[in-house]
A and B are shown apart, each in its own frame.
Chain A
């Protein structure tokens, strides 16, 4: 009773406060089933995490502790090109050839280029506990997102539910020196060099933001500028694509998860007592397990689940314009088969995405909805 009264009073007093309410999917973000119709190139890799196209056109995919490679346009048979001691997560093309891969707890590995097999160990600045994405800058500097100082990449759901804001962006200079260029971030989960060539775009998953980080001289600490706020989902990797960008979102926000994030006592007990797979939390994949929480809109009627039901998992790829405003989007809705899109890459013509939830490598094309 008292809480209800307090809520009503709050509503009266702070009538116009920005509650960062979960935005409705509309306009360019309007739901469709376009992602379901995109060609699936490969299902050979279970849980592909990130994807990159090297200068020579071969496609590299990280999954688990390994890196797989497809040769040119042949997507039939991936070969494992590297295995590490920690999870291999973000991957990006290196301008000198080959790719750079970040390995949790280890550092940055270079594969397929002139420095094949070299590992840039990162010891300073507290190490690299939870690398999520990286990009190689024009000067050869490597910029890495360290999602969290508290949790490893496989424990991202803990990081969300513990409401951590300990993510960082690191710069690894050509000489191997490590600088923190941004910290206190809510799980930075994707990074790319902006179209203007002088700044970085970083996606911040837990705050649903895209940030712009100017690239300054070594040692400088640029101030991050939010360029997109209150996205409807949890952003993952982002790449420049033509005259804009392409952003992968690994799950949609739901009002229930946003609500649970305000419920400290419930969340604490949930983390303590319940297996993460059955939390009230976003997921990369949802098979309707009998122990998963169910929401009102997700109750089956006549044996079917409605596509508009609150999504536990979802597939979403968004094409953004040069100002990072959404232009069009491809969806895989509730009950769909391309959920948990974590990785995105482009060779300049084609755009590839990795569906970690359903183990698919797909090719997507921007399409104007409306």
Chain B
């Protein structure tokens, strides 16, 4: 026996912290994408540093750096176009043209350096604009169009070189600005690298934070959807080619300043190198995904590889072949990864943990247990039958009107004689779950997927909170409220609410059961200061929340743990957490006050032996999730209805059940009001009403919280 418990301890420790969960969360991060190319770049540099003596000397770094500056501009240029879903093969020709124009202006016509540069950049923009008009506005294919302009620009260049090469060879401009661009440096950093860094930072902000950048990525991801969303697609495509032309021309200027050589083979094959760089950096060739940083990482890999291979003495052809091979490899990996990334995350996202539940109470109808099931809920009078889609919580206002939130995001109101009049009271836009009325008669609602919202008596909806403090050191940003579940309001007006889980949404909540991990939290919102604060972390699906009758503590239910906890908010034990009821025979949901100073508790599901056993075996659940589809997974049995009543000490007093769930399976809430108990269910099609006997028939919720009407 001791042996088993030791084994269990080991298993518990093994599953306490999950590396797999860490990886799954990491993979979801956007900044994870450049990590692989960055690591590759670092490895390549280290490998050459190790293999080639003197590789990491200052001289070599600076000379590689100067090449890198020019090439970096071109890589950024092509990346912008690729992110928009296009391609620009004419960068090599534009680069050479810019080189030529800059030299012609500066050397032959002796125009001042700044003006030469400006005119060159404008020429680049013009060439880009030719591509842009043809592709963006006329609607020609990017590949073919830029292939043709590449040839045309190159042909024009060759004609110009034939015509002017002699004059250019004999003339020579003179400018300190020009010289600085070609060979200057600040603190040992080459000038072009500085400018490149500047352009990269501005470009990164432009692409990742600015509206045009978002539009460009959206167009690249799905052009049709972008058009439907009202994005001016033509203009932004045009823009990307102009940006590409200008950036390439800038690269050409630096080249001109450095080498002063208008040779006709300048920039030949540059488009392929730049493409390789961008793809190696992880920019998706089909558009929509990538960044400036990624393209620069790719450029680093390509240049270091070329440089290193040349120093190894590899002949030119072999280097090209090697680079081509690298590009194929990168494209292949990229395609596979883009297609399977979500699948990979899905496969490893659900991470079950060890959780041993205590002994199960006998709840058989003939047992003498206070939990003994009966069918008192089965004959409940139905309200809104067939007209409600999942009234998770039900509540009454001071005037005796009944409210519930349904799956469409509506808050329904039932009023009039016998609550026969049904109308939409408000629309939340999310999935309304737990509700409570505050002192001023505003309906405060936990809206899954949104946060905590309120509805004023005049039906206007307002936001209370949708975020809390972020936990330090957690991979995923947990500040947003993902699944606010139930709330209650303390006498001082503070709103205590539960967030059931951070990892699943309102329609995948049941999957959280298979994890059995503490993914939820208890949060408090203070309307006076409008501050939201996380009180308790790592709770196992905290669900129903109820402020005790004396206002000194908050009771909350841990659904998968089958426990009721009490958290003291006032009095001598303030800040302490205690377990009030352990080892419930089912999964607790909402808790609400009863008229006699006790509490009603909904059991959404009942524990089954097979499920309890699976909770002790995380490996079993992991493999189940991986191997068989969702509909076949073992789930908690939520097909029966059960409501229990307990007192201040956690003693169970009575049970109302619906065996087999004929009318009320998976009861998620109940509310006592003027002698009746009203029943809500997350996936039911009605609200139930059961007459209670021997209770105070004038007792109602709002009066219990906020006193009799003054």
Contacts and interface: CB of A to CB of B under 8 A. Distances in A.
A254 interface: yes
Nearest to A279: B610
B626 interface: yes
Contact of B634 (A3, A7, A274, A293): A293
B660 A299 contact: no
Contacts of A259: 623-624, 627-628, 632
B684 interface: yes
A290 B640 contact: yes
Interface stretch (B101-109, B212-220, B613-621): B613-621
A255 interface: yes
A3 B639 contact: no
A305 B683 CA distance: 12
B630 interface: yes
Interface string B306-349: 00000000000000000000000000000000000000000110
Given A4-B20, A274-B613, A291-B609, A297 B632 contact: yes
A303 B622 contact: no
Please tell me the size bucket of the interface on B: 35 or more
A294 B636 contact: yes
A278 interface: yes
Contacts of A275: 609
A343 to B, nearest CB: 28
A4 B683 CA distance: 33
Residue with the highest number of chain B CB atoms closer than 10 Å, among A255, A265, A279, A303: A303
B353 to A, nearest CB: 13
Contact of B663 (A7, A254, A287, A303): A303
Contacts of A301: 683
Contact of A288 (B347, B373, B631, B661): B661
A266 B683 contact: no
Contact of A303 (B19, B373, B629, B665): B665
Interface string B385-418: 0000100000000000000000000000000000
A154 interface: no
A74 interface: no
Interface string A259-286: 1000101100110011100111000000
A278 B623 contact: no
Contact of B666 (A273, A296, A300): A300
A280 B610 contact: yes
A310 interface: yes
A323 interface: no
Contact of A263 (B510, B620, B629): B620
A298 interface: yes
A296 B631 contact: yes
B55 interface: no
B270 interface: no
A174 to B, nearest CB: 49
Nearest to B388: A302
A299 B606 CA distance: 12
Contact of A299 (B348, B373, B663, B683): B683
A299 B620 CA distance: 21
Given A270-B613, A296-B510, A288 B639 contact: yes
A256 B628 contact: yes
A160 B89 CA distance: 66
Contacts of A291: 606, 608-609, 637
A294 B608 contact: yes
Residue with the highest number of chain A CB atoms closer than 10 Å, among B347, B623, B684: B623
Nearest to B386: A302
B363 A290 contact: yes
B659 interface: yes
A79 B659 CA distance: 36
Nearest to B624: A259
B689 to A, nearest CB: 16
A292 interface: yes
A295 interface: yes
Nearest to A291: B608
B349 to A, nearest CB: 11
Contact of B637 (A4, A273, A290, A310): A290
A247 B234 CA distance: 66
A1 interface: yes
Given A290-B363, A291-B609, A293-B611, A302 B684 contact: yes
Interface string B565-576: 000000000000
Interface string A1-26: 10110011000000000000000000
Contacts of B683: 299-302
Contact of A295 (B389, B617, B632, B685): B632
Contacts of B665: 300, 303
B605 to A, nearest CB: 8
Contact of B660 (A8, A288, A310): A288
Given A294-B637, A300-B638, A300-B661, A266 B617 contact: yes
A296 to B, nearest CB: 5
Contacts of A303: 661-665, 684-686
B143 interface: no
Given A1-B19, A278-B609, A299 B632 contact: no
B127 to A, nearest CB: 48
Residue with the highest number of chain A CB atoms closer than 10 Å, among B347, B363, B609, B686: B609
A295 B633 CA distance: 5
B609 A273 contact: yes
A287 B640 CA distance: 12
Nearest to B623: A3
Contacts of A254: 632
Nearest to A277: B609
Nearest to B347: A4
A4 B633 contact: no
Nearest to A295: B632
11 contacts: A255-B629, A256-B624, A269-B613, A288-B639, A288-B661, A290-B640, A293-B608, A296-B630, A297-B632, A302-B684, A303-B662
Given A274-B610, A299-B635, 15 more contacts: A4-B20, A8-B347, A263-B620, A266-B614, A266-B617, A269-B617, A280-B634, A288-B660, A290-B606, A291-B609, A296-B635, A300-B661, A302-B389, A303-B665, A303-B686
Interface of B: 18-20, 347-348, 363, 373, 389, 510, 606, 608-611, 613-614, 617, 619-620, 622-624, 626-640, 659-666, 683-686
